[in-house]
Chains A and B, each alone.
Chain A
Amino acid sequence: MKIVAKKVEKVKA
């Protein structure tokens, strides 16, 4: 099994 990372978007007001 390969581990997949889910990206989290940057927060820029």
Chain B
Amino acid sequence: MVNESSFLTMHNLQRRKENSEEYLIGRTDESNFVILPNIAIEIIDLYDQQLTTSDISKIMQERGIEVDVLDFAENLVNDLQFVYKVDGVIINDVVEDKSHFKNLSPTVSRLLFSNFAYFIYILFLLVGMCICISNTTFIPTYQDIFVFDSISSSIIFATLLGWILIFKHEFAHLMAAKSLGINSRIGLGHRLVFPVVETDMSNIVLLPHNKRYRALLAGMAWDGALFGIGVVFLLLNTIGIEMNIVLLNIIKLINLHCVLAIAFQFMFYLETDMYYVFTTYFKCNNLLHNTRLYIRKLTKRISKEQTIELQNIDQYEKKIMQKYVWFYLLGVIWAIGIFIIVSIPALLKFLSIAIMKALHSNILSIAFWDALIFIAISSIPTGILIYSWIKTWKSNRVSNRPISLD
């Protein structure tokens, strides 16, 4: 479809200088970015000046640069999808901006994620931790999940509150990204065998590395601050300011959720918040993907294209990858092991008990609806996981299909 006489019209491409030899460049509507050498950026700029592939090849030859412009043009069209039109025909259409809360005030966002705000959040977390160290009865335990005497009511309440707290965590990311001028989108996904809610703020790579932490740590900052405030309330209750027992139980449940939420982020063999902090600090552009390629190489399941991709990784990132791979393998084995040995049997056991209870109860009885609600709640995470697996599988199938003008 692309030939020597082709004119290419690019999408609106944003770029950032990565180092003296390379640029990061990509489409903000699709949030797909790559690192390209300076010569590739020059070629894109020449296409923007309405030159044909042949014209650009001649310019490169005159400058003594041996570069396959036609091959790069095909890459721009098919793999990178940076090209909007070839010879006036739309090849890769513009994608509608689907980011959430676009009208959120950047001023309020900047206020809530300023350096001073972060100081307050960390202060609350440290106060909470100090109180817990001095009095270990404030440390959350799994018993804290039971807010009410009724187990079913407690599980329903914990689930509803859990979803509010999950949204609060993701909204913090979205707001902090907004304070940096980056629009984001909240959606459902998975990390290996864990169903997750995620905030896609991929355009953040256009910012210098040291500017990104504010958005990457925002969710944990709010979790930590909320935990600290909760512990202070529990302390106040013990020194004379008595509170309602249900309110106290709700505070304990919030504290439990916050601690588990922060712990989850440290599973950095998955793409969690701490993984992104790690890769941002070490300036790795695609650590997890490259690690998986490296494992494919070790297990001799690597294709020719993947071998070329692996060879082109920076030496610096390769060194980090060769250490990270062991964390990744151990983490994956642990997670899949827990999933098979604990999660699936526990889910099946509870579901079978609930189904038997529902089958042996009158449809108008509390026991029947109690069992039904439990089944529905248990199915939500599993449903998200299956939905996300199917979505990823479909997306991989589409991305492997070449683009055609036919």
B308 near A4 with CB under 8 A, answer yes
B71 near A3 with CB under 8 A, answer yes
Chain A residues near B202 (CB-CB < 8 A):
10-12
Of the residues A5, A10, A12, contact of B75 by C-beta under 8 Å: A5
B204 near A5 with CB under 8 A, answer no
What is the CB-to-nearest-CB distance from A12 to chain B, in angstroms, rounded to a whole number?
A: 4
Q: How far is the CA of A9 from the CA of B275 in the complex (A)?
A: 12
Known: A12-B271, A13-B199, A13-B219. A6 touches B288 (CB 8 A): no
Give the residue among A4, A7, A10, A11 with the most B Cβ atoms within 10 A. A11
B313 near A6 with CB under 8 A, answer yes
Chain B residues near A3 (CB-CB < 8 A):
36-37, 39-40, 43, 67-68, 71-72, 75
A6 near B66 with CB under 8 A, answer no
Within 8 A of A (CB), among B31-57: 31-37, 39-40, 43
What is the CB-to-nearest-CB distance from B75 to chain A, in angstroms, rounded to a whole number?
A: 7
What is the CB-to-nearest-CB distance from B71 to chain A, in angstroms, rounded to a whole number?
A: 5
Known: A1-B67, A3-B40. A8 touches B285 (CB 8 A): yes
B200 near A6 with CB under 8 A, answer no
Q: How far is the CA of A11 from the CA of B215 in the complex (A)?
A: 11
Contact count band on A: 10 to 19
Chain A residues near B312 (CB-CB < 8 A):
4, 6
B201 near A12 with CB under 8 A, answer yes
B286 near A13 with CB under 8 A, answer no
Chain B residues near A7 (CB-CB < 8 A):
34, 285-286, 289, 309
Within 8 A of A (CB), among B211-247: 212, 215-216, 218-219
Please encode chain B, from 66 to 84, with 1 for each CB lying within 8 Å of some chain A CB and 0 for all others: 1110011001000110000
Chain A residues near B285 (CB-CB < 8 A):
6-9
Q: How far is the CA of A6 from the CA of B24 in the complex (A)?
A: 9
Known: A3-B75, A4-B308. A9 touches B288 (CB 8 A): yes
Q: How far is the CA of A4 from the CA of B189 in the complex (A)?
A: 30
Of the residues B31, B68, B200, B216, contact of A1 by C-beta under 8 Å: B68
Q: How far is the CA of A3 from the CA of B271 in the complex (A)?
A: 29
Known: A12-B199, A13-B219, A13-B273. A6 touches B289 (CB 8 A): no
Please encode chain B, from 157 to 185, with 1 for each CB lying within 8 Å of some chain A CB and 0 for all others: 00000000000001001000000000000
Chain A residues near B128 (CB-CB < 8 A):
none
B26 interface hit (Cβ, 8 Å)? yes
Of the residues B35, B80, B200, contact of A10 by C-beta under 8 Å: B200
Q: How far is the CA of A4 from the CA of B26 in the complex (A)?
A: 15
B287 interface hit (Cβ, 8 Å)? yes
Could you show 11 A-B contacts with beta carbons less than 8 Å apart?
A4-B308, A4-B309, A5-B75, A6-B312, A8-B24, A8-B35, A8-B285, A9-B279, A9-B288, A11-B200, A12-B189
Enumerate the 9 nearest inter-chain pairs by beta-carbon distance, A residue then B residue, closest first. A5-B34, A6-B35, A10-B202, A8-B33, A12-B198, A13-B173, A9-B286, A3-B72, A13-B199
